[in-house]
Amino acid sequence: MALRPIRRALLSVSDKTGLVDFARLLSGFGVQLTSTGGTRKALADAGLKVIDISEVTGFPEILDGRVKTLHPRVHAGILAIRDNTQHMGVLAEQKIEPIDLVVCNLYPFEATLAKPGSTHEDIVENIDIGGPSMVRAACKNYHDVAIVVDPSQYAAVAEELKANNGATTLELREKLVGAAFARTASYDAAIAGYFASRQNTGGDYPERLDLSFRKKQGLRYGENPHQKAAFYVEPNVRHACVATAEVLHGKELSYNNILDLDSSLNLVREYAEPAAVVIKHNNPCGAAVGGSLVDAFRKAYEGDPISAFGGILGFNREVDEATAMQITEPKRFIECIIAPDYSPEALKIITTRPTWKNSVRLLRTGPLQADAARSLDFRRVDGGLLVQGRDAEADDFKTAKVVTRRQPSPQELADLQFAWLVAKHVKSNAIVLARGGMVVGVGAGQMSRVDSTHMASRKAGDRSQGSVLASDAFFPFRDNVDLAAAAGVKAIVQPGGSMRDQESIEACDQHGIAMMFTGVRHFRH
């Protein structure tokens, strides 16, 4: 087991969560506490006996605290190999006491970087120097020294101390080393990324990309039962998203649940008015806006009630009692719901009704921001990683042009913009039919655009009469217009840009269809 008793601990932390309780436990085992600056003050204010680092080094903290632990008496105490007689002889000769435990979480660089209003000077000042040096020293000498870099580790260390009369095992120390190096790697990657972004003001990507994610949870399996999986999140993410959402009810989320929840939330946050979406296999099978959330949900579910069975619901407003009543109507089955919040009445309805209380998962995000999650988008390929900016192009139609003789009516214009935003979140080739602020047909992921148009019109049936059509990319031929006209479509929105655009325009004029070009493509592979 290679037990090592802890007799002296050095504590220097920015995040003081749980610090006093942990230090009190150490003191209870007779551990001598040494500390720095604000950490020392917090411990002393709690009534704990603590030695200031300057008493160890014989030198005061200087340069506004920039230099305090960078001293041979500190690092020799950490790095000395206990079984090496020469090392221990040097410590005795220099009157240096060994340090058996280092508790150090680093300056909050990432949090400062993420904080609105932080200046460059604020960010640079939160680059820790002494902290990473102590962490690395303790890691190198893990056979003798334990390193704790996060308050979440206090409980495990405390349990081991209790089980081993104030000592740690080699197994725990090695586990702590892995976590410590992961932390310093993440920390350095964040700093490198920040300075790379300052150099790449023209939008170029850096030559080297180092990413760091924290494991949030293990998953039962991946897309299929034979695939192992886990969910990792970015550090210091604060905006409303699946990674920060609170699970209020239900069994463990699956890999596919998380993908679909993310898709549903990204779509509903596009709309200012009450909106609801039903996601199935990472595509919206139903989506709608309305004067109220219950109205939006009713229309979204009616878009394709067969496909909606077992789907994922997303809302951009608090789920109220009326909406909850509609959601839980007989013969409906929903896997997960994600929303900014739930009223007490809605929460009770969804979590207590028979067949619902044991199956549905509920996630609460807090208020949604329309411009959230505008960071980089990653896609793994064998042997590499594709990186791009998120598809956050403004879609307010200010630059869209009507290219046909017929102008869209005000209602058609509203439906066109609604359908255009939905098509942005449908797998290519994407065709969306909408009418009255709701999706009535979707064609997704087909190898030809005309196949997607066929699929969407078949899904819509008679509801395609008087509908509008949105296409995520241009029409290569006029056949899409002819199919749309046969289905009763009255207006179309598409990016334009085909060498045969004029053929599509002429086809629309022949059928009396209004068509708009946005100049923006929204492929989603």
Distances 498 to 201, 469, 495 between C-alpha atoms, Å: 33, 17, 9
User: Rounded distance, CA 511 to CA 515, Å?
Assistant: 11
- Report the largest interatomic distance among the alpha carbons of the chain, rounded to a whole angstrom: 98
Q: Name the residue type at position 101.
A: L
User: Rounded distance, CA 189 to CA 206, Å?
Assistant: 12
Q: Is 399 helix (H, G, I), strand (E, B) or coil?
A: coil
Q: Name the residue type at position 127.
A: I
Give the residue numbers annotated as catalytic, written as ranges.
140, 281
- Location of structure tokens 């009369």: 165
- Location of structure tokens 């139609």: 397
User: Rounded distance, CA 79 to CA 144, Å?
Assistant: 9
User: Rounded distance, CA 360 to CA 363, Å?
Assistant: 10
User: Rounded distance, CA 506 to CA 131, Å?
Assistant: 69
One-character DSSP codes across 224-281: STTS-EEEEE-TT--SSSTTT-EEEESSPPPHHHHHHHHHHHHHHTT-SS-EEEEEET
Is residue 396 within 8 Å of 503, Cβ to Cβ? Answer: no
Is the torsion defined by CA of 474, 475, 481, 484 positive or negative? negative
Using DSSP bridges, classify how beta strands 491-494 and 514-517 pair: parallel, antiparallel or unpaired: parallel
Tokens of 495: 């990016």
